[in-house]
Amino acid sequence: MKITDFLKDVRLELKKVSWPAREETIKLTGVVILMSVALAAFLGLLDFGFLTLLDRLLF
């Protein structure tokens, strides 16, 4: 298969994709950012808690 055939097929497949609306993309991006921040905060609190516990047990 030639590269040009491949690129034509890619272009045809991309035309079949159902792309989300701009508003939906912005909303879902906000959800992803919010969940990432919440997970980072949760993991940070867990890390701090385990570090404090380990510090009290060893010293």
Q: Is residue 48 part of a domain?
A: yes
Q: Is residue 6 part of a domain?
A: no
Q: Is residue 34 part of a domain?
A: yes
Question: For the whole model, what pTM was predicted?
Answer: 0.67
Q: Is residue 45 part of a domain?
A: yes
Q: Which domain holds residue 47?
A: 20-59
| pLDDT, position 45 | 98
Cα 37 to Cα 24, 26, 40, 43, 50, distances in angstroms: 20, 17, 5, 10, 20
Residue with tokens 């035309």: 15
Q: Is residue 40 part of a domain?
A: yes
Q: Is residue 7 part of a domain?
A: no
Confidence of residue 6 (pLDDT cuts 50, 70, 90): very high
**d(Cα 39, Cα 42) in Å, to the nearest integer?**
5
Q: How many folded domains does the chain comprise? A: 1
Q: Is residue 49 part of a domain?
A: yes
| pLDDT, position 59 | 81
Using the predicted structure, report yes or no on whether residue 1 has a pLDDT greater than 80. no
